A and B are shown apart, each in its own frame.
Chain A
């Protein structure tokens, strides 16, 4: 019954995709009324004004573009014309760096907050105030102080990944079961060994949940951040293609951004399964 359910679900998914593509294809295929105009003027106006063709690309146009990108993902013809693969690599690289720094900062501080009620209370107001700030609001400050647009984007990723990991680590550490801690105490386990052998495994599933939320947010924010800082990256690519009025490329990048985000999420979901223990 289980196999047949996933089979049926897959079938429905495929049908929905087909229906969507058909509607899309039909919707952009028609021609609108055109007005008679001076041929010279018509030459300036392009296809949508002269023949009534829709300015929105159809699924086949997008498929051709995707194929073109897939065939040659890493070409580099100057600052404004780089392959999709290169742009994605820039974005993933920035996310990885900012996220890694956030992990290095959030997990130790989260441990501190989770283990010390004093630090928990003392740091709470700062976390409460800084957490709701949109990461992009930090951008001007980062650009002014760091004076490097690439590093600023990394900083913005760092700051937006920090909070979910920090809060989840603190929560996971603080809610380690009293009885597990008592086991460690009666075995005279020292503080460092206790942190690594009892508290860390007990809090790991909660910490990984925070890391999974963070990677999702980081991938959302990188697109916006790169639209601002420009130069490279998938966010810059989207904005550049919008300026080029290449809607096919914009649609292609939306699809690619979604796919990469899914892969990042699945990687952390897998890591989460590794540290989750049944009770």
Chain B
């Protein structure tokens, strides 16, 4: 069992400075398609984004800004037209087991059971592992997402939320260095979405997972992300700015809207999506450098700051 277990290495304690804490770096990537009648259409260009180890990054932007393409490039499923992405010190040239993808439409293999789907991923990572070990590991991943007991069901017998849980279990089971999620909860109803966001947040906090997630949902980004990347509208989309989430790490979904700084952050994001995502391209702020997108931390009111200080003392 030594090769596959323990299920997960201990997360690095937060706050401890590391020699190399930059896990991923997007360096000037662009995506261009040949346009009908010659020339080319640029979906996005000159995109720069560094990501730290253990960080949860959400990317927000309107449809057509190339978010999914960015994620596919990170996954290695597509190649950028220009630029490179460096992961763990090496250029991404293709898909890797180090970066697990949670697909929007869950993408389970319908002829395999829940256990079969997760075990397929596990046996792809540890090719010569004995069957019993593979199954044991798959079972643990299934239990982590709260599906113990449903191992022998087929995807068609599961609800949408359960299917997405299997997708998460499949990604976690291979012990990836990074999770890539493409609007993983967009097809779910509001209640299920909330529960799954809680699960994902719990798992990511517990395991110190590095996550890149695409979403349309401002509240989802506020609840989950450490940093939120704002994309301008396509074509020629860019990273407009990176918003640092001022909310404390131990967030509580139910009390989120009472947290100090919540409304400042939310208003900032909504304002961006409603107006600035459109006007940014033609009217960038003075000194805008796409290579170093401005990092914004929505300002707290004095009352907010006092409340945070009080909470920290308590």
Q: How far apart are the CA atoms of A182 and B94 in the complex, in Å?
A: 11
Chain A residue numbers with a CB within 8 Å of B174 are 187
With beta carbons under 8 angstroms apart, the residue of B94, B110, B124, B154 that contacts A189 is: B124
Contact status B111-A201, CB under 8 Å: yes
A278 within 8 A of B: yes
Known: A197-B120, A277-B156, A279-B156. A186 touches B95 (CB 8 A): yes
Docked pose: A189 CA to B124 CA in angstroms: 6
Residue A40, interface by CB 8 Å: no
For chain B residues 141-191, which have a beta carbon within 8 Å of chain A? 154-156, 174
Q: Which of A131-154 contact B (CB under 8 A)?
A: none
A35 within 8 A of B: no
Interface assignment of B99: CB less than 8 Å from any CB of chain A: yes
By DSSP majority rule, is chain A's interface helix, strand, loop, or mixed? helix
Which DSSP category, helix, strand, loop or mixed, fits chain B's interface?
Answer: loop
Which single member of B96, B101, B156 contacts A278 (CB below 8 Å)? B156
- Complex CA gap A277/B94 in Å reads 30
A68 contacts chain B at the CB level, 8 A cutoff? no
**Distance A278 CA – B101 CA, assembled complex (angstroms):** 24
| CB proximity to B under 8 Å, residues A117-135 | none
B interface residues, how many (CB within 8 angstroms): 24
* Residues of the B chain whose Cβ atoms lie less than 8 Å from the Cβ of A277: 110-111, 154, 156
The listed residue (A182, A187, A279) touching B110 by CB distance below 8 A is A279
How many angstroms from the CA of A202 to the CA of B109 in the assembled complex?
8
A183 contacts B107, C-beta separation under 8 Å: yes
Across-interface contacts of A38 in B (CB, < 8 A): none
- What does the 1/0 interface line of B91-128 toward A look like (CB < 8 Å)? 00011110111010101011100000000110011000
Q: Does A8 contact B (CB under 8 A)?
A: no
Q: Are B110 and A278 in contact (CB under 8 A)?
A: yes
Q: Are A188 and B154 in contact (CB under 8 A)?
A: no
Q: Is the CB of B97 within 8 A of A188?
A: yes
How many Cβ-Cβ contacts under 8 Å join chain A to chain B? 56
User: A187-B125, A189-B124, A279-B110 known; A179 and B95 CB under 8 Å?
Assistant: no
Q: Is the beta-carbon distance between A180 and B109 smaller than 8 angstroms? A: yes
Q: Are the C-beta atoms of A183 and B156 separated by less than 8 Å?
A: no
Cα–Cα, bound, A186→B179 (Å): 12
Among the listed A180, A187, A201, A275, which residue makes an inter-chain contact with B124, where contact means beta carbons less than 8 Å apart?
Answer: A187
* Binary per-residue interface labels of chain A (226-266) against chain B in the complex, 1 for a CB within 8 Å, 0 otherwise: 00000000000000000000000000000000000000000
CA gap between A180 and B99 in the complex, in Å: 17
Q: Return chain B residues, CB-CB under 8 Å to A186.
A: 75-77, 95-97, 99-101
A163 to B63, CA, bound (A): 44
* A198 interface residue (CB < 8 Å to B): yes
Most chain-A Cβ atoms within 10 A of its Cβ — which of B97, B110, B121?
B110
Q: Could you tell me the distance in whole angstroms from the C-beta of B288 to the nearest C-beta in chain A?
A: 34
The residue in chain A whose Cβ has the minimal distance to the Cβ of B174 is: A187
Give A202 to B95 CA distance when docked, in angstroms: 22
Distance in Å: Cβ of A138 to nearest Cβ of chain B: 37
Report A-chain residues with C-beta under 8 Å of the C-beta of B99: 186
Q: Are B107 and A179 in contact (CB under 8 A)?
A: yes
Q: Once bound together, how far apart are the Cα atoms of A188 and B121, in whole Å?
A: 9
14 residue pairs A–B, Cβ–Cβ below 8 Å: A180-B109, A182-B77, A182-B101, A183-B101, A183-B103, A183-B109, A186-B96, A187-B120, A187-B121, A201-B109, A202-B111, A277-B110, A278-B154, A279-B156
For the A-B complex with A179-B105, A180-B109, A188-B96 known, give 13 more contacts whose Cβ atoms are closer than 8 Å: A182-B101, A182-B103, A183-B101, A186-B77, A186-B95, A186-B97, A187-B125, A188-B95, A189-B124, A201-B109, A275-B111, A277-B111, A277-B156
By a beta-carbon cutoff of 8 Å, the part of chain B in contact with chain A is 75-77, 94-97, 99-101, 103, 105, 107, 109-111, 120-121, 124-125, 154-156, 174
